[in-house]
Amino acid sequence: MRRLKMQQAEMLASKFRADNGLGQTEPISAKTLLRKLQVTAMYRPLSDSSYGISCKSKSGRMFMLINSNSTRGRQHFTIAHELYHLYFDENPMPHMCCGGASVEEKNADTFASVLLLPKEGVYAMLSKDEILQHNIKLATVLRIEQMFQVSRSMLLIRLRDLGVISENERQAMQSIPVKESALEYGYDKSLYESGNEGVVIGDFGEKARILFEEGRISEGHYLELLKMISDGRKDN
Ligand SMILES: [Zn+2]
C-alpha cells in the first residue's frame, strides 16, 4: 500500500467509527473498543523500544499485545495503530511495532492520530481565537489530551497537522514539562504514566495465557507465539 494522505486517513478513521457505531467526534475508550471489537488483548512489559504487536488468525480472531511500560496515553496510540494493521493493512504480518519507518508503520501512525483525535472533536474544544490566531492555551491543550486520553506529543503533532499551531509553536509547547503542567492545572498524572500490567481483555487461549502470565517467554517468543496463533495452529 502507498503512503496514506492525511485526508485518506481521515476518511478511513471516519469509516471505522461509523462501521463500529462510534460517533464521529467522541473520545475513544480503548479498552471498551477492544471489547466491542472482540480483540483479545494483553498488557505486558515489553522492551522500551517496542509498543505492541497484533495479529489475526485465519478464522478472523484478533490478538494484540500492548507494552504496559508505555504511558497510558502512548498505549492508546498503540492500540489505534494496531487496529490499523488489523483492519486496513493489506499485508498484515505479526510484527513488533517499534515506531519504524516503513510505509505501513507510518500509515498506522497517521490512522491512529486521526482516529483518536477527530478533527471536529478537536475544533469543538478550541476557541475562535485559538483557531484563527494560533494562540492555543496550555489549559486547552490539557483539556484536549485529557478528554481524548492521548499523550502531549501526539496531540501537539495533530494540532500542527491541523494547522492550529506552527512547528515552532509545537516545539515550544513540547518543552513544557507534561506531568508538572497537569498537576498544576488539577489533573492527575495517570495518563502520563505506565500501567495496566497484566490486564487481559477477552480470552487469550489457556496455553498462551499461562506462558504470557508466567513471563517465561522472551519478546521473540511472543512473536513466534502470535505467528502460530495467526497460522491457526493454536486457534481454538
Ligand atoms: Zn505497526
Cell triple for 176: 513544557
- Residue 40, strand partner residues: 63
CB atoms within 10 A of CB 125: 14
150 C-alpha to ligand 1 centroid (Å): 18
49 C-alpha to ligand 1 centroid (Å): 12
Locate the domains of the chain by residue range. 6-117+193-231, 119-192
233 C-alpha to ligand 1 centroid (Å): 23
pLDDT in the model for residue 235: 41
51-101 tens-digit pLDDT: 998 888 777 788 898 999 999 999 999 999 999 999 998 877 767 777 777
Full 3-state SS string of the chain: CCCCCHHHHHHHHHHHHHHCCCCCCCCCCHHHHHHHCCEEEEEECCCCCCCEEEEECCCCCEEEEEECCCEHHHHHHHHHHHHHHHHCCCCCCCCCECCCCCHHHHHHHHHHHHHHCCHHHHHCCCCHHHHHHCCCCHHHHHHHHHHHCCCHHHHHHHHHHCCCCCHHHHHHHHCCCHHHHHHHCCCCCHHHCECCCCCEECCCCHHHHHHHHHCCCCHHHHHHHHHHHHHCCCCC
> Percentage of residues in the chain with pLDDT exceeding 70?
86
Residue 63's φ and ψ, nearest 5 degrees, are -125, 150
pLDDT in the model for residue 206: 64
114 C-alpha to ligand 1 centroid (Å): 15
8-40 tens-digit pLDDT: 999 999 999 999 999 999 999 999 999 999 998
What's the rounded Cα separation, in Å, for the pair 197 and 31? Answer: 14
Whole-Å CA distances, 227 to 134, 208, 221: 47, 12, 9
Residues with CB under 5 A from ligand 1 (ion): 97, 105, 108
| 43: Cα separation from own chain's centroid | 13
